[in-house]
Amino acid sequence: MAKLSFLSCCRALLQSNILYSPTQSWVTRKFILVSKSVKVGNRQFGIFGSFTTEISRKEQTTQLGKTPHNQNSLEAVRQSWLDFLQTVTTGPQGVGYLLGASVRVSYFTVMSLLGLKIVDNMNQLRKSKKRGISLELWRLIVGMLGECLTACRQDYSNIRYGYYKLPPLPTRRWNDILPATLDYLLDVRMVQARRRENRYREIPPLINSDFPEYYKRNFHFQTDGYLSEYSAKLYEFQVEVLFNGVADVMRRQALVPLFNYVHSHSIKHMKLLHVACGTGGILSDLAENYPQLRIVNLDLSPYYLREARRRHETYSNTYIRFVSGRAEELVFRDNSFDVLLNIYLFHELPPNVREQVAKEFFRVLKPGGMLIFVDSIQEGDRSDLNRLLQMFPQIYHEPYYPSYVKTDLKTLFESAGFRSANIYISWLTKVCVFYKP
Ligand SMILES: C[S@@+](CC[C@H](N)C(=O)[O-])C[C@H]1O[C@@H](n2cnc3c(N)ncnc32)[C@H](O)[C@@H]1O
């Protein structure tokens, strides 16, 4: 009862203009626009709530015409809150989700600000003597929080529609959180020093020198690149800080096409190959939702694979395997998997390697098999975020990202033999579905 009254009050406050009106006209002049259209190849998509659906040329004009050019980011955040509250307060699990998501997003947003603060104290971030958070940074934070809410709303809608289960809240690995927080805060200075001096070749002496050249670097300026136990322990936490606590939420969009596939085929004997699994990422969600699914995880980093295995020891009843290897030379037979899942790999590959990997994906999938490709949104997907896409590779050492955001994924995968199907967007992530005919 008390919870419901509290939520009703929040809703009423947000619906009223009490907090909002005085700042509105000032903010309107200052803040960025929000756009809601997505282009893939020569096809245009509109974002409707949880899904991105293809729209006709006529609708496209209407949709683009509807783009809220008079909206500012404060308005967008308020709207996101309203939508979020409306969505979560209608479902029985909603209050739990609301609390979990709030804790998670707040925690990782604070971590990201603390990271900046530490760096700032060391006088490394900016040259100016002015203290406090700049207007630009506030703008970024407010805009990001709005985006996080929208992503969480999509996530919760998917849970309500039954696409996947409500994950344990707010994080599965509470016992890992404290050490990871300390490690992150200690490490952040080293990352910033590397960033300032553009040092990206600081990886440990390699036992196995077989790693490709493009891989032997400090992606994201992170300590040891992908090549140490230390890096593997920190990775998930750093990704959550980068995405304000919604990295898992965005990854979970991949479970929507998987649900559709599993429910139109027999799951008995179904095999899924998870390429570039990192330290697991979506693996817990896969194992919890599909205990019968046979999952093979592959990554080039033995350290990340080991960490993934450690984190998923609890799923001992499920068929989960870990294999070390390269995506461009997959160590599997032709036509051996029903589903191939690939998350956040292509933006870290040189263009020629992307083509090889697409062909390998095609080779190992069975006819009728599905590829769920998940990576960053690209240029033109969200015109309001184009600037962010330009800045990201400089701040996070992502040398192949600029070419990735310009790549026509439809052409890339169709050239390998695939037929393209749906697209789903969640803030900075897009999920593209392809089939092997
Ligand atoms: C950005 S991380 C993404 C990890 C994970 N999919 C996630 O959702 O967080 C990129 C991962 O791709 C792996 N990787 C990079 N190049 C690879 C390649 N050629 N073959 C296999 N894995 C690769 C890295 O080791 C790293 O774990």
Give the pLDDT confidence of 364-419 residue by residue, as tens digits: 999 999 999 999 999 999 888 888 899 899 889 999 999 999 999 999 999 999 99
Structural domain includes residue 55 = no
Structural domain includes residue 284 = yes
Structural domain includes residue 167 = no
Question: Using 50, 70 and 90 to split pLDDT, how confident is the model at 72?
Answer: low
Structural domain includes residue 48 = no
Residues 351 and 255 in one domain: yes
Pocket probe for ligand 1: among 348, 357, 398, 401, the residue whose CB has the most ligand atoms within 8 Å is 348
Atom of ligand 1 nearest to the CA of 327: 20
Domain containing 224 equals: 174-242
Instruction: Read off the pLDDT of each residue in 156-176 and give the average, rounded to a whole number.
Output: 79
Whole-number pLDDT of residue 174: 62
Residues 192 and 131 in one domain: no
CA dihedral sign, ordered 300, 303, 307, 313:
positive
Instruction: Tell me how many domains the chain contains.
Output: 3
Q: What is the mean pLDDT of the chain?
A: 80
Q: 283-286 long-range CB contacts below 8 Å, 24 or more apart?
A: 283/308, 283/311, 283/312, 283/320, 284/167, 284/172, 284/311, 284/312, 284/315, 285/164, 285/167, 285/248, 285/251, 285/252, 285/255, 286/255, 286/258, 286/341
Residues 89 and 225 in one domain: no
Residues 84 and 216 in one domain: no
Select from 202, 218, 242 the last residue of a domain. 242
Q: What is the pTM of this model?
A: 0.82
Structural domain includes residue 40 = no
Residues 287 and 405 in one domain: yes
DSSP assignment string, 126-143? -S----S--HHHHHHHHH
Residues 234 and 256 in one domain: no
Decide if pLDDT at 52 tops 80. Answer: no
Instruction: Read off the pLDDT of each residue in 282-298 and give the average, rounded to a whole number.
Output: 95
Higher pLDDT, 186 or 210: 186
**Could you tell me the distance, in angstroms and rounded to a whole number, from the CA of residue 416 to the centre of ligand 1?**
21
Select from 242, 270, 290 the last residue of a domain. 242
Residues 237 and 190 in one domain: yes
Higher pLDDT, 130 or 163: 163
Residues 236 and 321 in one domain: no
Question: Using 50, 70 and 90 to split pLDDT, how confident is the model at 85?
Answer: confident
Structural domain includes residue 386 = yes
Q: Say which residue the tokens 């419901």 belong to.
A: 4
Atom of ligand 1 nearest to the CA of 349: 16
Residues 251 and 397 in one domain: yes
Q: What are phi and psi of 45, to 5 degrees?
A: -125, 150
User: Residue 382 sits in a domain of what CATH number?
Assistant: 3.40.50.150
Residues 273 and 303 in one domain: yes
Q: List ligand 1's pocket residues with C-beta within 6 A.
A: 215, 226, 239, 251, 276-278, 281, 299-301, 304, 326-328, 343-345, 348
Select from 100, 134, 161 the last residue of a domain. 161
Which of 318, 340, 364 is closest to 257 using CA atoms?
Answer: 340
Residues 280 and 367 in one domain: yes
